[in-house]
Structure 1
Amino acid sequence: MMPTTLSSSPASQIAVRLADHAEGVCRHYLSKGRKEGRYWLVGDIRNTPGRSLYVRLSASPDGRGAAGKWTDAQSGDHGDLLDVIAAARNCRTMRETLDEARRFLSLSMPPPAAEPPVRRSKAPTGTPDAARRLLAAAKPITGTIAQHYLGGRSITDLTGLNALRFHGACYYRASSDDDADVRPAWPAMIAAVTDLDGSVTGVHRTWLALDGSDKAPVAYPRRAMGHLLGHGVRFGRAGPVMVVGEGIETLLSLRQVMPLMPMIAGLSAAHLAAILFPACLKRLYVARDDDPAGAGALTTLIQRATQAGIVVVPLEPRLDDFNSDLTAFGRERLAANLRGQLHRGDGAHLQMQG
């Protein structure tokens, strides 16, 4: 029986019961993730492989985090295990979600009149409209501390980067991992996330230190909002030969020596693996990060692209990623490393800029 101190709301009671079985819920509904310590890690609430979303399997020792609560470090979304179940089973109403939760917990079903079919509100998330408003409030990146930030990473040629903008005081929603006195707003580099037609579906935010010397000293300095799956931050028009990668800075580094090559940043390994292919695409270079998530994304992309008749060619950095290569070795050596990996004829995209 549920403790009498709990709310009489059936949703509140069932959410607590689910939290008591958080690991079992995750293994059942987020089966493509895995347990690491007190957390279950997975790509997102739709059970995409990856590590962006983490679910607390037990309450944190300091009491700041409750079991069953989840946060997506990439998008900033958060919620409870009822949200997980609703997403996993495409539940349209609160009643459908609670019925599914009761089946999982082996609880008896209520009589039909006990709960009217009221729609459950979704976990807080940024909508495409909110993303477009933020993008409209930002200004061109040239002459801002965002340009200074990129320059500190040897990214100095920003020609044609219309997808990037700057916001001087972008709201930052603190998480349980942030200090209690964390600033509510920081300067931020804003990147437009668009679909195949060029419509804005979301934005990516990189919060910056006040002087632009580094990322802001917050728990999650990078977050995205809006509809991300299949979409990305695009540099240049789609063509038969393109480059995709996870991070914005990875692709900006490649653009320092391949400024005319069309590129798409997927923003995470999970989203990179799900990127939608333009109809004209014939050969896809994948600038992968040198880690297990990058390897998994590459494997998935190869499987999907092969079915679509697209040739996939991996691009391997010498260090952990191409920005590390650029800052450590410079443009000439980065270009030399790429020249040996590009398909015959694609080397013409390599151009040294100043």
Structure 2
Amino acid sequence: MTGSASELARRLGEHAEAVCREYLSNGHRSGNHWIVGDVRNTRGRSMHVRLNGNAKGPAGKWVDEQNGEHGDLLDVIRESCGLIEFRDVADEARRFLAMPRPPAQSHCAQRQPAAARGSPEAARRLFGMSRRIAGTLAERYLAGRGILLTAHERALRYHPGCYYRDLVTGESQTLPALIAGVTSLDGRITGLQRTWLAPDGNGKAQLDDPRRSLGHLLGNAIWLGLEPGLPIPVMAAGEGFETMASLRTVMPSLPVAAATSANHLAGLTFPPGCRRLYIAADADAAGRHGIQRLSQRAGEAGILSMVLRPQLGDFNDDLRHLGPGHLGAWLGDQLVPEDARLFLPPE
């Protein structure tokens, strides 16, 4: 036994039905397949796990016909248990198979304990179980808002079946979601923001509160363009992710931070070497306290702060209704000339 991923997957496939009964307990057998809602053990019928090998493939392979996801039984263990590191997945697979661990990994825990609800660890696990947004409903959603970001934005992920619980009725469901990681300046995830999406990605899900945050947010932010350890002489900050992502769309080389609320904006930690801070305002006065407090703190730290104001309700409204060219020109009149030349693409 080599302990490799392929060998573990093969051994699990020899006991495919038992694996499914253990980790996909909300499903049932139908012919040569185990039927369940998805790889995270949701009730439903869209995911099919092959229980016996045949000409179509080996036992243990599965496909979710609703979203096209596919994989093997190691993926089932990872997603259903909320594991991130392969060594933890492999340890859990060996525990199930009653196999000894390789000597080099004998110090690893048998199974990762559950993370406390709402904790930074829970945020890190959910972020780790999500994937890059390219080609997903999250990318479609952002494009529908006029937001076009490069594939190098590490803060953004997509989860096809993110758990949502109605705080009034207690009912739960899983929905696709845009996952935005909240990080400290060293790049460590301390929290995240979930935006649940409509099934086709055209707008948010029809929920009373389709956007929620968790983890440690104060002082941290959803950073776009952050390079941990490098000085950031000029940056922009604001409350909402879509507001800041809109600025990043028209000024793709300007680092921006979305603090997720007015109170968190007021307490944002400044990056090393910051000399100028642009604060994105909305047309209403709801976030005025956060702007004033952040400006005061910036002045005390020797940072020049300036407020950027939209023409409409917020900068995403400007981007969608007026267009990126008009928004860029509007911003150019509010930036220091040096910054306008540096961050605004030439016409």
Give the structure-2-normalised TM-score: 0.63
Q: Does 1:228 align with 2:228?
A: no
- Displacement of 1:278 in angstroms is 1.3
What does the per-residue CA deviation read over 1:178-221, in whole Å, with 9 as the maximum and x for residues that have no partner? xx596511100001111121111011100111111111111111
Which structure 2 residues correspond to residues 126-165 of structure 1 after superposition, within 5 A? 126-165=118-157
Residue in 2 that maps onto 1:167: 159
Which of 184, 187, 193 in structure 2 is aligned with 1:204?
193
- The CA distance in 2 between the partners of 1:295 and 1:247, in whole Å, is 14
What does the per-residue CA deviation read over 1:230-259, in whole Å, with 9 as the maximum and x for residues that have no partner? 100111135110000111111111111100
Which structure 2 residues correspond to residues 26-37 of structure 1 after superposition, within 5 A? none
Find the structure with the greater CA-based Rg: 2
Residues 343 and 211 from structure 1, CA distance in 2 versus in 1: closer, same or farther, beyond 3 angstroms?
A: same
- Displacement of 1:352 in angstroms is 4.2
- Displacement of 1:291 in angstroms is 1.9
Residue in 1 that maps onto 2:51: none
C-alpha RMSD of the superposition: 1.8
- The CA distance in 1 between the partners of 2:302 and 2:170, in whole Å, is 52
- The CA distance in 2 between the partners of 1:349 and 1:254, in whole Å, is 14
What does the per-residue CA deviation read over 1:304-336, in whole Å, with 9 as the maximum and x for residues that have no partner? 111111111100000110000000110110000
Runs of 4+, deviation exceeding 4 Å: 180-183
* One-letter identity of the residue aligned with 2:157: R
Which of 270, 280, 287 in structure 1 is aligned with 2:263?
270
* Structure 1 gap segments, 5+ residues each: 1-123
* SS of alignment partner, residue 207 of structure 2: coil
* One-letter identity of the residue aligned with 1:332: G
* Structure 2 gap segments, 5+ residues each: 1-115
- The CA distance in 1 between the partners of 2:155 and 2:175, in whole Å, is 20
* One-letter identity of the residue aligned with 2:194: R
- The CA distance in 2 between the partners of 1:202 and 1:157, in whole Å, is 21
Which structure 2 residues correspond to residues 67-216 of structure 1 after superposition, within 5 A? 125-176=117-168, 180=169, 184-216=173-205
- The CA distance in 1 between the partners of 2:182 and 2:319, in whole Å, is 25
Q: Is the 8 A contact 2:127 2:181 kept in 1?
A: yes
* SS of alignment partner, residue 193 of structure 1: strand
* SS of alignment partner, residue 269 of structure 2: coil
Residue in 1 that maps onto 2:254: 261
What does the per-residue CA deviation read over 1:255-304, in whole Å, with 9 as the maximum and x for residues that have no partner? 11100001111011111111011121111000112222222111111111
Residues 353 and 147 from structure 1, CA distance in 2 versus in 1: closer, same or farther, beyond 3 angstroms?
A: farther
Q: Is the 8 A contact 2:332 2:344 kept in 1?
A: no
* Number of residue pairs aligned between Structure 1 and Structure 2: 228
Give the structure-1-normalised TM-score: 0.62
- The CA distance in 2 between the partners of 1:225 and 1:216, in whole Å, is 19
Which structure 2 residues correspond to residues 43-82 of structure 1 after superposition, within 5 A? none
Determine which structure has greater relative contact order: mean sequence separation of CA pairs < 8 Å that are 6+ residues apart, divided by chain length. Answer: 1
- Displacement of 1:168 in angstroms is 0.3
Which of 300, 306, 313 in structure 2 is aligned with 1:307?
300
Q: Does 1:243 align with 2:236?
A: yes
